[in-house]
Amino acid sequence: MGWRFDKRGDKYRIWSTVVDEYLTDWYSRKEILAYMYRNRLQDFKKGIIELYMAFPDKRGTMEGNKIHIDQERREIYSTWFRHQLYDLEGEEHVIEIEERFNEALEFMGIDKLE
C-alpha cells in the first residue's frame, strides 16, 4: 500500500501511489483514522481468509524446512481472490469479504474477533 497524505488546515486526504488517484476527499483527522481502520481491518480479514482457504500451502516444516504445497487449496484461494479483484465492486466486495471471513471464523469455532 503506497499512501501519501495531503493536509489543508485541519483536513487530510489520501493519495494512492498504486492507483495514482485520491482515495478520499478532504476528511477530518477522525474521519481519516476511521478510513484507515476500515482499510486495515479489511486487509486483516483477507489475510485470515487466505489462511482459511489455502493452509497449509507454502508453510515450512521443522524437518529440514521443507515447504508444504497444497496446489488445490491454493487454486481455490487464487480463484476467489481474482473474483474479488476483477468481478466485484464497492459494497459487493465488502459483503463477500465479510461472508467469507465469518465462514472462516465459524470453521475455526470462533464466535467473534477475540
The 10s digit of each residue's pLDDT in 1-58 is 689 999 999 999 999 999 899 999 999 999 999 999 999 999 999 999 999 998 887 7
Q: What is the pLDDT of residue 24?
A: 95
For 53, counting Cβ atoms within 10 Å of its Cβ (0-12 exposed, 13-18 middle, 19+ buried), the class is buried
Instruction: Extract long-range pairs of 67-74: CB within 8 Å, 24+ residues apart.
Output: none
Q: What is the pLDDT of residue 65?
A: 66
Helix axes 29-54, 90-108, angle to 10 degrees: 50
pLDDT tier at 85 (50, 70, 90 boundaries)?
confident
- Is pLDDT of 91 > 70? yes
The 10s digit of each residue's pLDDT in 58-82 is 777 777 666 777 888 889 999 999 9
